[in-house]
Amino acid sequence: MGLLDSLAKQVLKRATITCVAPIAQHTYHLTFQGPDLADVQYTPGQTLNVFFDLSGPEAALRKRTYSIWQYNAEALTLELAVCTFSNGPGARWAQQCRPGDDVYFHGPGGKFILDTPTAFSYCLLGDVSALSHLYALRRQLPQAQSVFSLVHARTEADCFPDLDGTYPLHFAIADQLPATEVLAEVAAQGLSSATSCLFYIGGAQTLCVETRQLLRKQWQVSANHLKAKPFWK
Ligand SMILES: Cc1cc2nc3c(=O)[nH]c(=O)nc-3n(C[C@H](O)[C@H](O)[C@H](O)COP(=O)(O)OP(=O)(O)OC[C@H]3O[C@@H](n4cnc5c(N)ncnc54)[C@H](O)[C@@H]3O)c2cc1C
């Protein structure tokens, strides 16, 4: 083990992977548990930096950011939904990790969280890589709250429900999803007054950038009513 890996193990928090379950064609549901998950300061919408390959043959310290799908302070568990579309190191880690494995992490952190719990309406937009994040945000809002949504998935087999088995967000199944279609779809859901709505956009960088531009220029949404967080380029 390299010096960097050994140092990382000393400064990072550690948990044990207790469950690894494929929940969609390209997504694994991972559950961590352990005493380092006690007294974690967590706000729904925050993320975790996960470090892996610490003892791997390449001895390369790798870090990827994942949204916390759910944190349970009593059970000392934390859940993630990790996608494999990328086929990169993070995807391979999710495919290969097994119950009993150690996982090293830092966090929670991040600011892609709900700012105002009292807006007139909310609009949650993204793709499958941001789905668990959007579910965590949706759970913060009352059931009766006016919430518009659209999650881009290439196939139905890529869609998965929230942890309670429900599907509280709308999906668009398509190869490509231009920003114009995203906004046409939420308009069709009944979003008429964009100026009194808070928008949260996560996922592909192009989706975040283009949707944000359209909302600012065509829908006159002010910058402080809009949060866009690219999850991948
Ligand atoms: C705030 C934040 C929260 C995130 N939350 C999650 C989460 O909850 N779940 C999750 O799976 N990922 C999440 N991500 C993305 C995650 O951090 C990794 O970037 C992603 O998993 C790819 O890592 P990798 O090592 O597998 O591939 P990389 O080596 O990083 O990328 C390999 C290639 O795959 C492409 N790629 C990456 N993601 C996708 C994708 N979704 N679809 C198609 N191509 C892609 C890249 O552009 C690159 O060309 C989040 C990112 C951020 C910034």
**Domain endpoint, select from 55, 75, 109:** 109
3-state DSSP assignment of residue 187:
helix
Q: What are the start-end ranges of the E strands in the chain?
A: 13-24, 27-33, 47-52, 62-67, 70-72, 77-83, 102-109, 121-127, 146-153, 171-173, 197-204, 226-232
Q: Is 209 within the bounds of a domain? A: yes
Say how far apart CA 112 and CA 192 lie, in whole Å: 24
Q: Residue 176 corresponds to which amino acid?
A: Q
Query: Do residue 165 and residue 221 come from a single domain?
Result: yes
48, 32 contact by CB (below 8 A): no
Claim to verify: residue 93 and residue 148 sit in the same structural domain: no
Q: Give pLDDT, residue 117.
A: 65
The reply to whether 20 and 69 lie within a common domain is yes
Q: Is the pLDDT of residue 4 over 90?
A: no
Give residue-wise pLDDT tens across range 67-123: 999 999 999 999 999 999 999 999 999 999 999 999 999 999 999 999 876 788 999
User: Same domain for 96 and 132?
Assistant: no
Ligand 1 centre to CA of 86 (Å) is 6
Residue 60's pLDDT is 66
Please check whether residue 104 lies inside any domain of the structure. Answer: yes
Count the neighbouring beta carbons within 10 Å of the beta carbon of residue 142.
8
pLDDT at residue 52, as a whole number: 85
- The answer to whether residues 100 and 152 belong to one domain is no
Q: Domain end: 109, 135, 158, which one?
A: 109
Question: For a substitution probing ligand 1, which of 129, 163, 227 has the most ligand atoms within 8 Å of its CB?
Answer: 129
Q: pTM higher than 0.85, yes or no?
A: yes
Structural domain contains residue 97: yes
Is 160 found in the same domain as 61?
no
Please say whether the beta carbons of 94 and 30 come within 8 A: yes
Q: 43, 50, 83, 135: which to mutate for ligand 1, most atoms within 8 A of CB?
A: 83
How many Å lie between the centroid of ligand 1 and the Cα of residue 231? 6
Burial class of residue 140 (count of CB atoms within 10 Å of its CB; 0-12, 13-18, 19+): middle
Please give the Cα distance from 209 to 5 (Å, whole number).
36
Ligand 1 centroid vs 195 CA: distance in angstroms? 31
Centre of ligand 1 from the C-alpha of residue 3, in Å: 27
Report pLDDT digits (tens) over 127-183. Answer: 999 999 999 999 999 999 999 999 999 999 999 999 999 999 999 999 999 999 999
Q: Is residue 141 part of a domain?
A: yes
Beta carbon of 232 within 6 Å of any ligand 1 atom: yes
Q: What confidence tens digit (pLDDT) does each residue in 23-61 have? A: 999 999 999 999 999 989 999 999 999 998 776 655 567
Residue-level pLDDT at 171: 98
Domain enclosing residue 128, as ranges: 121-232
Q: How far apart are CA 21 and CA 148, in angstroms?
A: 29
Same domain, 194 and 158: yes
Would residue 114 count as lying in a domain? no
Both 155 and 185 in one domain: the answer is: yes
206 CB less than 6 Å from ligand 1?
no
Residues 149 and 168: their CA atoms lie apart, in Å, by 9
Q: Are 96 and 168 in a shared domain?
A: no
- Residue 181 counted as domain residue: yes
- Answer for the pair 71, 78: CB distance below 8 angstroms, yes or no: yes
pLDDT at 47: 98
**105 and 191 fall within a common domain:** no
Together in a domain, 20 and 93 = yes
Domain for residue 116, yes or no? no
Looking at residue 118, its pLDDT comes to: 73
Q: The CATH number of the domain where 188 resides is what?
A: 3.40.50.80
The number of distinct structural domains making up the chain is 2
Give a yes or no: residue 56 inside a domain: yes
95 and 140 fall within a common domain: no
**Could you tell me if the CB of 29 is within 6 A of ligand 1?**
no
Q: How many CA atoms are closer than 13 Å to the CA of 46, on its beta-carbon side? A: 14
Determine the distance separating the centroid of ligand 1 and the alpha carbon of 230, expressed in angstroms: 10
At which of 89, 109, 129 does a domain end? 109
Nearest 5°: CA angle at 57, between 52 and 62?
25
pLDDT tens digits for range 183-232: 999 999 999 888 889 999 999 999 999 999 999 999 999 999 999 999 99
* Number of Cα atoms under 13 Å in the Cβ half of residue 41: 2
Centre of ligand 1 to C-alpha 163, Å, is 21
